A and B are shown apart, each in its own frame.
Chain A
């Protein structure tokens, strides 16, 4: 199996011509960069939407310059309407969850580095790979169309709960064509993700170089592999769910709509459906999605931490098994989003227990990272700062999950800002920290140049401190019962807490500036950055055994042979304190 790639001719010819080279490229590295670019477009859009929402929340009458250009109906005179707030909220969530948190850590970095790290020339199915990106791109275009149609984007949130999302225009503005575009976009996205994850799985299993046993794969490759297994099962459920939603909306079916509901003074012409069915299907995808977002970052962070510590983790095996357990358990917990949904209260206990149990592998991971730092020689740079920041964020976002996993506490905290704080920290910020760490770490590989360290550190400090200033108070607001998804706080008890909301908005405006610093850094360093030497980080894995940027066929005509575990650091070897995976040099092995 592992020799098969070595014996084959090149999987595809070098790309020539503009279209094949930069647009419809078969090269996994170009496709990885395309995913990254798409994630960038989505993350800046999503972040600007969160700025708009935060400004509106605390200054509801504020005229926001330019907003009227985006939507005349949604912001007459530049003042946001309540329904437009919900439109932006829906688009923010959808863009961030699907097009950023799935695309950046998994599809972008996975595409670029998984084949190289296992010593392959490309993905197993380069054409499928190209298709999965362009189908994802199509999904993004369809979603963004919702901004320009007269009806505007849907207002049902990224979860698109039925019947609100299923009954069409009677449900409110944005629910006529906006919601249809949403369903279509996500269905297309699912199809692309299925293609992508199959490709990842096939590549990992079939194209490993000689000597690259499963246990010799770097931890990020393991994380991408486990993630692709999760994604395959999760998107396979969301895809039919979206198709059924579209059928309910346009073909008169009633999968998610019961009989006898009256909206906009009209008895809806449906019968026999169940709103809870949508919730089950959605969350059967939705919870594993959290791990699709965070697992790749766990892998990337482990990979970078080990390099910065100059010694292996206490146990790579334990990290791999923990990530597997998290992936496995992620399929048994979706009901914790639905404790109060009206499903049988007994099932709340059945969902609560595995949810709490996930704490065990998550704690094991954290302790392994922390324990490994002990006695290390930690090199501080932008990449390792973000990797270390990831641990802090993962803990902070993780502990609040302990509250929400308990149905009795959920009675009080469900649908409050406590939940918003929890998932933003753990699946949003922590996951993005993995992406940032990966960007600073692999930039020299991708371009041959370093990113600017000063700007990188500035990016880190603003983001790290800013994220705490924004999301920690969210938890406090949840404790006093501040309900989420409100465009303004008309509740009597909220008045004393408006100053805290203002503080959060200001923190968000400042923190949101940091990614722009990073963007400038990426663009400037791409053209003017300091040239990186062959071994900028003295790292061991295969991506560092080839030129930077890598040639079209990665290893040229060489067929790499792997002799070592991925993280042989802290040893005495010819090149220094590390030995490359494909170096035939004999050294006593470290780690497990």
Chain B
């Protein structure tokens, strides 16, 4: 049965690796300026983890093949080099890998989180609530109106709790159920959580960030390709969680300007 186990392990190792090697489960197209860094990091990790996975399973299979079903009293042997060699191997090889991935590999993270958004980035506020996203643009005055939680009134489409009567900045704010942005222009997205935790995830943008009520968070990104992409919630937020989505609509600058103009009318 040991030999059978060895064969099963070889089959499992190869069958598990096959769809990855053959790219049967490709990442969606990357439409961001930073995404290639994440993809590269993921690819390199896949190669290293893949070698470790297949290698370990094959070694286990080889030893099972060789050292089961032996004649009773067959001489026992010890691994050449003993524990010391293996411990040194683990420290050096895995240690180097940890250093490489842990230190050098933070470029992608840094590009998203350690560089501030450009001063001329398009400012958009996103609000997440059970179970929808809304997006707010500052309008011609470039200023967002204040949020007044007690004034939130879904029935009258006052999703952000604006007070245009008393708040001049709120009067020209544009609210949309779709995140419309221009291509090749940086967007500074400020995240506001209305009720419980949610998350903003666009696979193609390689962006995911939680909404935390009471905490002002933001992300910035630049989309490089026009088109419509799904925004989904990835933080369990209640019964409609699975159905909480919106669309990211990336347009040319001219189309975006026209859209903005139309919305402000």
Interface residues of A, Cβ cutoff 8 Å to B:
81-83, 86, 155-157, 161-164, 167, 171-173, 257-263, 265, 267, 273-276, 309-311, 314-315, 318, 340-342, 345-346, 348-349, 352-353, 356-357, 359-360, 363-364, 366-368, 370-380, 385, 388, 391-392, 395-396, 399-400, 402-403, 405-409, 411-416, 457, 464-465, 468, 472, 476-477, 479-481, 483-493, 570, 592
Q: Complex formed: what's the CA distance from A405 to B212 in Å? A: 22
Q: Complex formed: what's the CA distance from A405 to B94 in Å? A: 14
Q: Complex formed: what's the CA distance from A413 to B41 in Å? A: 12
B16 and A367 within 8 A (CB): no
Return the chain B residue nearest A372 by Cβ: B79
- Given A318-B87, A476-B24, A402 and B60 contact (CB-CB distance below 8 Å): no
Instruction: Determine the chain A residues whose CB is within 8 A of the CB of B12 once the complex forms.
Output: 392, 465, 468
Return the chain B residue nearest A490 by Cβ: B243
CB distance from A382 to the nearest CB of B (A): 10
Q: Complex formed: what's the CA distance from A353 to B207 in Å? A: 22
Instruction: Determine the chain B residues whose CB is within 8 A of the CB of A468 once the complex forms.
Output: 12, 16
Interchain Cβ contacts under 8 Å between A and B, 19 examples: A260-B149, A262-B194, A265-B152, A276-B212, A314-B79, A345-B114, A346-B114, A356-B98, A359-B94, A360-B94, A364-B91, A375-B79, A400-B49, A402-B48, A408-B37, A408-B105, A476-B24, A491-B230, A493-B28
Return the chain B residue nearest A457 by Cβ: B1
CB distance from A160 to the nearest CB of B (A): 10
- Given A161-B235, A261-B149, A374-B63, A340 and B214 contact (CB-CB distance below 8 Å): no
A490 and B242 within 8 A (CB): yes
**Segment with Cβ contacts to A, from B117-125, B132-140, B178-186, B196-204:** B196-204
Q: Complex formed: what's the CA distance from A552 to B245 in Å? A: 61
Q: B57, B113, B196, B235: which contacts A415 (Cβ < 8 A)?
A: B235
CB distance from B192 to the nearest CB of A (A): 10
Instruction: Determine the chain B residues whose CB is within 8 A of the CB of A356 once the complex forms.
Output: 98, 101-102
Instruction: Determine the chain B residues whose CB is within 8 A of the CB of A403 once the complex forms.
Output: 42, 45-46, 49
Instruction: Determine the chain B residues whose CB is within 8 A of the CB of A385 once the complex forms.
Output: 1, 5
Instruction: Determine the chain B residues whose CB is within 8 A of the CB of A363 once the complex forms.
Output: 90, 94
- Given A82-B242, A363-B90, A570-B76, A261 and B193 contact (CB-CB distance below 8 Å): yes
Instruction: Determine the chain B residues whose CB is within 8 A of the CB of A377 once the complex forms.
Output: 67, 70, 72, 74, 76
Return the chain B residue nearest A378 by Cβ: B68
B25 and A480 within 8 A (CB): yes
- Given A370-B59, A412-B206, A258 and B74 contact (CB-CB distance below 8 Å): no
CB distance from B80 to the nearest CB of A (A): 8
Q: Complex formed: what's the CA distance from A167 to B196 in Å? A: 9
B254 at the interface (CB under 8 A from A): no
Instruction: Determine the chain A residues whose CB is within 8 A of the CB of B193 once the complex forms.
Output: 261
A374 and B77 within 8 A (CB): yes
CB distance from B25 to the nearest CB of A (A): 4
A364 and B87 within 8 A (CB): yes
Chain B count of residues within 8 A CB distance of the other chain: 102
Return the chain A residue nearest B103 by Cβ: A353
Instruction: Determine the chain A residues whose CB is within 8 A of the CB of B215 once the complex forms.
Output: 258, 274-276, 342
Q: Complex formed: what's the CA distance from A465 to B194 in Å? A: 45
B21 at the interface (CB under 8 A from A): no
Q: Complex formed: what's the CA distance from A575 to B240 in Å? A: 66
Interface residues of B, Cβ cutoff 8 Å to A:
1-2, 5, 8-9, 12, 16, 19-20, 24-28, 37-38, 41-42, 45-46, 48-50, 52-53, 56-57, 59-60, 63-64, 67-70, 72, 74, 76-79, 82-83, 86-87, 89-91, 94-95, 97-98, 101-103, 105-109, 112-114, 129-130, 147, 149-150, 152, 154, 161, 193-197, 199, 201, 203, 206-210, 212-215, 217, 230, 232, 234-243, 245
A275 and B197 within 8 A (CB): yes
Given contacts A261-B195, A375-B76, A409-B38, 19 further A-B contacts (CB under 8 A): A164-B197, A164-B238, A262-B129, A276-B215, A310-B76, A314-B78, A340-B208, A367-B89, A371-B82, A374-B67, A375-B79, A380-B69, A392-B60, A395-B56, A411-B207, A415-B208, A483-B201, A487-B242, A490-B242
CB distance from A325 to the nearest CB of B (A): 11
B79 and A315 within 8 A (CB): no
Q: A340, A402, A411, A484: which contacts B101 (Cβ < 8 A)?
A: A402
Instruction: Determine the chain A residues whose CB is within 8 A of the CB of B203 once the complex forms.
Output: 412, 481, 493
A380 and B2 within 8 A (CB): yes
CB distance from B184 to the nearest CB of A (A): 21
A409 and B42 within 8 A (CB): yes
B53 and A395 within 8 A (CB): yes
Return the chain A residue nearest B23 by Cβ: A479
Q: Complex formed: what's the CA distance from A532 to B237 in Å? A: 54
Q: Complex formed: what's the CA distance from A376 to B50 in Å? A: 27
B25 and A477 within 8 A (CB): yes
B130 and A172 within 8 A (CB): yes
Return the chain A residue nearest B55 by Cβ: A395
Instruction: Determine the chain B residues whose CB is within 8 A of the CB of A411 once the complex forms.
Output: 38, 108-109, 112, 206-208
CB distance from A54 to the nearest CB of B (A): 15
B230 and A493 within 8 A (CB): yes
- Given A171-B196, A411-B206, A415-B199, A374 and B109 contact (CB-CB distance below 8 Å): no
CB distance from A551 to the nearest CB of B (A): 33
Q: Complex formed: what's the CA distance from A364 to B184 in Å? A: 47
Q: Complex formed: what's the CA distance from A392 to B83 in Å? A: 20
Return the chain B residue nearest A339 by Cβ: B109
Instruction: Determine the chain B residues whose CB is within 8 A of the CB of A399 once the complex forms.
Output: 49-50, 52-53
- Given A353-B102, A372-B79, A163 and B195 contact (CB-CB distance below 8 Å): yes
Instruction: Determine the chain B residues whose CB is within 8 A of the CB of A357 once the complex forms.
Output: 98, 102
Instruction: Determine the chain B residues whose CB is within 8 A of the CB of A260 once the complex forms.
Output: 147, 149, 213-214
